[in-house]
Structure 1
Amino acid sequence: MDRNEFLLALDEMLELDPGTLTGDESLESLEAWDSLAVISFIALVDEKTGVVVEGEKLAKAKTVADLLALAGAPVAA
């Protein structure tokens, strides 16, 4: 899965129009980023990349780019 595909999957997960997220957005600015979205993100990363996201690291994420970084190497730029 490449970066663009992952961003599109995040768009879908957060019920945003396809192509909305670019990676530069702060998580605070996303109305849909809530506790359910956090759990959905962890499941999405595990399903799509096999990477297990640590809750402590996820709690430190401030931007969509941080989320991409947490997804690990399988999400190429």
Structure 2
Amino acid sequence: MSLSRLLSDLFTGSETSTDSPASTQDSNAGESTPGGETTIIYECRNCGTNVSDETTCCPACESDDIVRYTIE
């Protein structure tokens, strides 16, 4: 699922059939929300596939261009 679809689903309130990203404490994320939680998403920049934080190569398209999005 691409980041744009995830954000769209968040704003419309619809449920998705894929796993949602984990919320976590991240001391490197800068300012945090009042609850102190930030959502971190790792995504292939080439095809938009969500991947884990340990992933170095996209399983869908084999690109090594993985980006990290921090959502507060």
Structure (1/2) with the larger helix percentage: 1
**Relative CO higher for 1 or 2, CA cutoff 8 Å, sep ≥ 6?**
1
Structure (1/2) with the larger strand percentage: 2
Q: TM-score normalised to the size of structure 1? A: 0.24
Bigger Rg over Cα? 2
